[in-house]
Structure 1
Amino acid sequence: MQNALFVGVSAQTALARELDVIANNMANVSTTGFKARSSRFQEYLMPVASADSFQRSDRRLSYVIDQGTPLDLTQGPVEPDSNPMHVALRGDAFLAVQTPQGLRYTRNGAFELDATGNLVTSDGHAVQGDGGPITIGQQETGLAIAPDGTISTNLGIRGRLRLVTFANAQALKSEGANLFSSEAPGRPAGPGAHLEPGALERSNVKPVVEMTRLMDVNRTYSMVSSVISRLDDLRGTAIRRLADVA
């Protein structure tokens, strides 16, 4: 009976983790360039005792182990908005930005100019070009971003956006604020990755799918809770009856 309680608790722990993932996805339905995460679990069979004196072999206990939350890297919907400083990423690539914590990566192409003329994201992080930060002078006009990331104004080319890719994008760590960090350095993105100027990539979260997952997880969690409660009642009954016999 005690083993059954442990199995139930392991299932509840995994389900609680999945609820956290779903909640985060739902909270970022409207976040530009957001990539959803899913939950991955694995069955863990408890090692059994090996004493030869047992009349029958032990039953193998199946627990649930959290195996991580992989990224869904599928392309999000691209919506034109005619803003010359907005770009949507298409393909396997990320934009490099400088943050107080160091170099980070994002799919958020909602750019703007700060008070000093630096090209920044909507969160104020400096967008990195191949040669570092990109600065536009106050006297410059006609800012345009080409599909290859080249930024130009009336005074000519001002830089080229740094697009990077990773050998194992699943190793990227979420840092919050729609940013990722990587222990491995990014490499220049291939020809399959390009920008769509005057547009933004929306979140790839599918609200209907997430709501379905949410209902399914809630039902399963309630069912497991009910089983644990009944097992606890059964144990209490057994203890009382054993006490009466004594």
Structure 2
Amino acid sequence: MDSTAYIALSRIDVLKRGLEITANNLANENTDGFKTSRQMFSQYLVHQKGPGHINGETDQVYAQDKATFRDFIQGPLRSTGNATDVAINGEGYFAVRTTQGVRLTRNGQFTRRLDGTITDGSGNPVLDRNGRNLVLRQENEDFTIAKDGTISTNDGALGMLGVVTVRNPQTLVAEGQYLLKPTTPTQPVAMPELHQAMLEGSNVNAVSETTHLVEIQRDYDLTFQLIQTESTRNQNAIDKITAEPTT
């Protein structure tokens, strides 16, 4: 296989990853708190000996899948009428306790178990400002959540919903559809803005992602055609050489 085919294959590998990322974005268009993923790729040079350069070297440019990052732009807020739903407007994440440790999320679709523990959609306890499981007793049927996270009933304040952040959101590792694993220390958000009975929707732009999907598919097809053309050219050259009579 010549260098042209190798270069084209490196491009196909990048496009394949881009296709997976874009398809996952579209699949989570309606996942509350979901943040769009983006692909970061680069080009790198490989120096080879050859006649194409004044010093006897040629440069070949390959595509390389560098990393995947998330777009943390705010998603739209919508009213649900459910008292245990909470949306964050601006900076911050809710903290939940999983069997693998504390995880962060922007999905505030919470429920209350029979014992009063507030959990996320997977049954993970939601944490308060002090890192403890958030529990509302049965007698606390009616409650309000203030913008700063304070939870109150007619008897007064019961506690505060925890909202934390990290120095660099790109260090968060996605787990599943809406959980994020912190790889660096978290710190409380000084002045969070919470909205009860609302949820933050996905920030996926379906039109933009669909357009990008079509562009990736078109680029993939053109690159694959290049590989086929090069393969045919090489085979024709081989056939011509082997068909020439020997002297």
- The TM-score bracket by the shorter chain reads over 0.9
The Cα shift of 1:48 comes to: 3.1
Cα distance in structure 2, aligned partners of 1:15 and 1:189: 38
The Cα shift of 1:4 comes to: 0.4
Q: Counterparts in 2 of 1:36-47, with a 5 A limit?
A: 36-47=36-47
The Cα shift of 1:144 comes to: 1.3
Are the aligned partners of 2:40 and 2:67 in contact in 1 as well (CA < 8 Å)? yes
Structure 2: tracts of 5 or more residues without a match? none
Are the aligned partners of 1:141 and 1:154 in contact in 2 as well (CA < 8 Å)? no
> Does structure 1 residue 21 correspond to structure 2 residue 21?
yes
Are the aligned partners of 2:34 and 2:177 in contact in 1 as well (CA < 8 Å)? no
Which residue number corresponds to residue 241 of structure 2?
242
Helix, strand or coil at the partner of 1:26: helix
Cα distance in structure 1, aligned partners of 2:25 and 2:155: 42
The Cα shift of 1:156 comes to: 2.8
The Cα shift of 1:201 comes to: 0.4
Cα distance in structure 2, aligned partners of 1:38 and 1:101: 26
Which residue number corresponds to residue 167 of structure 2?
167
Cα distance in structure 2, aligned partners of 1:106 and 1:154: 29
Cα distance in structure 2, aligned partners of 1:5 and 1:102: 46
Q: 1:55 to 1:166 in 2, by over 3 A?
A: closer
Structure 1: 4+ residue segments shifted above 4 A = none
The Cα shift of 1:13 comes to: 0.3
> Does structure 1 residue 127 correspond to structure 2 residue 110?
no
The TM-score normalised by the length of structure 2 is 0.93
The Cα shift of 1:244 comes to: 1.2
Matched residue type, 1:175:
E
The TM-score normalised by the length of structure 1 is 0.94
Matched residue type, 1:43:
Q
Cα distance in structure 2, aligned partners of 1:66 and 1:212: 21
Cα distance in structure 1, aligned partners of 2:190 and 2:26: 31
C-alpha RMSD of matched pairs (Å): 1.7
Matched residue count: 243
Which residue number corresponds to residue 35 of structure 1?
35
Matched residue type, 2:168:
N
The Cα shift of 1:194 comes to: 1.3
Which residue number corresponds to residue 226 of structure 2?
227
Are the aligned partners of 2:47 and 2:57 in contact in 1 as well (CA < 8 Å)? no
